[in-house]
Amino acid sequence: MGVRAILSSVFLFSIILSGCVSHKKALERKEQLHYKKTYHSPKREMRAAWIQTVHQGEYARMSVEEMQQDFLRKLDKLQELRFNAVFFQVRPESDAWYRSRLEPWSRFLTGTQGVAPSPLWDPMRFLIAECHKRGMEFHAWINPYRAAANASIPLAPEHPYSRNPEWFVRYDNQLLYNPALEQCRRHICSVVDDIVSEYDVDAIHMDDYFYPYPKPGLPLRDEAFFQADPRGFENIADWRRDNVNKLIKEISTTIRTRKPWVRFGISPFGIFRNKRTAKMGSETNGLQNYDDLYADILLWDHEGWVDYIVPQIYWEMGHSAADYTELVYWWGKNIKHAHYYVGQDIKRTMNTQQLHPKLSMAAEVAQGNVMWPANEVLWNTGGVQDLLKREYYSHYALIPPYTHIAGDAPKQIRGIKALWTEQGYTLTWLPDESCEGLPSAPHYYVVYAFAGKEKINTSDPAHIVAVCRSPYYILPYRDGKEKFTYVVTPVSRMHIEGKGVKIKVKL
């Protein structure tokens, strides 16, 4: 994932953040915070994790069965930890972890680019089904411009570079699609359209790789393209930003034309602009999206081209050049239309001292978090898995509703009853089929439980006992002596919850 994969080298550049965390400064800064000391899990919160495939050599060494079991183990654990979405890297180098009509199988999947897995299977289709079975969304994460992280490694004959080398530029031994070329935008949009058409993805997700991270003393040689077609721009920086703007707008249009309910999200580098560069910038001193990567995130938000934004705020509270507190509130103030989720780096910064304040601040100004990477959560780095399970993700959370896409709630369920089945004492109900295919159709169901005469309050996530795609729930029957009230609500694809229907049972 962009800044993560190159983080160690990025900090060597003079243009990137300098300095280290001052313990004294961090403590002083902590005294100024306004986060809540007691954390209450919100009912609505994105809880996602990135699963990367680039540079992951272990996958290529696995058999199909071993890989499937590894994925199932990861999804089971994330489900147990109450995560509700997975961002899986399906296109790391203009290649594919799925059956693509346009690009070769990924070398990170099979060891050699263009070689299909044997026996043949489709990892993305498999993962979508398994995520949905567990009540989690699947966001197909693509790297838009990167064609090869290492240009020295041979590419498959069916790789776009092999067929159209004139589309690409070289920079620091990388192969990149030339953002200035319409042919490149057309191809990337075709890839997106292929994924959205053929797969039941919940979102298309892009990371922070736009124009390449600059290396001191190594300019990007695209002046000839600018001079040949400046399109009215007087300087190359504005022209480069417009190149990226065109791609973002066209991808957005591609998705909405094909499947309007599929969302489009981007996780940019954590700094938009520094205040020393622009008055509206943050009190930071580091690389800038707008000026160095030519990514005008706030324009994309203003124009409604993206549905969610996940800034990669991977620094510590009190960092001398990029303080987490400054950035989490800056983005919260400046993202106006899209959902705002915070990109959190588990290993570097989500330690036991900063986990609570970071999640508390995010809960104040954002609508959720995306953890980098999933493996660090699964490995329980710094005890983060234990803390999430015990305190922060102890209850289910529903993904915040995307009312700007479709605002109608599903109709109430019908025919709810409790009966004995082969699986045990089971709640069953009838979904509303009259709106099938419409945005208001029920996509999943939320089951709430209330003991005895406990007041029914579906706004409290502590009462959620299940989030399920199928219209049934197996009850935890004991001896049939204790009274419970269950409430079942339907939820649309856009996570808009309909009214609940209740039933009383004895367990």
Q: What is the pLDDT of residues 76-121, one digit of tens each?
A: 999 999 999 999 999 999 999 999 999 999 999 999 999 999 999 9
For 318-339, what is the mean pLDDT?
97
Mean pLDDT estimate for the chain = 92
pLDDT at 348: 86
Instruction: Work out the pLDDT band at 55, boundaries 50, 70, 90.
Output: confident
pLDDT at 120: 98
Nearest C-alpha neighbor of 489 from the set 505, 503, 475 = 503
Instruction: Work out the pLDDT band at 1, boundaries 50, 70, 90.
Output: low
Judging by DSSP bridges, how do beta strands 168-171 and 174-177 pair with one another?
antiparallel
Q: Which residues, in sequence order, are bridge partners of residue 371? A: 49, 344
- The span from the CA of 132 to the CA of 128, in Å, is 6
Judging by DSSP bridges, how do beta strands 472-474 and 424-430 pair with one another?
antiparallel
> For residue 31, is pLDDT > 70?
no
CA distances from 11 to 14, 16, 37, 95, 321 (A): 8, 6, 33, 29, 11
Task: Give the list of residues 6+ apart from residue 117 with CB closer than 8 angstroms, or none.
Answer: 64, 105, 109, 110, 123
Q: What DSSP letter does each residue of 80-127 carry, written as one string?
A: HTT--EEEEEEESSS-BSS--SSSPBPHHHHSSTTPPPSS---HHHHH
Separation of first and last alpha carbons in the chain:
48
Radius of gyration in angstroms for the set of CA atoms belonging to the chain, rounded to a whole number: 24
Encode pLDDT of 105-162 as tens digits. Answer: 999 999 999 999 999 999 999 999 999 999 999 999 999 999 999 999 999 999 999 9
pLDDT at 38: 74
Helical H runs in 405-449?
none
Which DSSP helix (H) or strand (E) runs through 435? Answer: none
- The span from the CA of 126 to the CA of 199, in Å, is 10
* pTM of the predicted structure, to 2 decimals: 0.93
Task: Give the list of residues 6+ apart from residue 389 with CB closer than 8 angstroms, or none.
Answer: 80, 81, 82
Q: What DSSP letter does each residue of 339-379 carry, written as one string?
A: EE-EEEEHHHH--TTTHHHHHHHHHHH-SEEEEE-HHHHHT
Estimate to the nearest angstrom the gap between the alpha carbon of 279 and the chain centroid.
30
Task: Give the list of residues 6+ apart from residue 323 with CB closer than 8 angstroms, or none.
Answer: 29, 283, 284, 315, 316, 317
- ∠ CA 339-342-344, nearest 5°, is 155
User: pLDDT above 70 covers what percent of the chain?
Assistant: 93
> For residue 22, is pLDDT > 60?
no
Query: Lowest-pLDDT range, 15-19, 156-160, 183-187, 411-415?
Result: 15-19
pLDDT at 35: 61
User: What backbone torsions phi and psi does residue 69 show, to the nearest 5 degrees?
Assistant: -65, -35
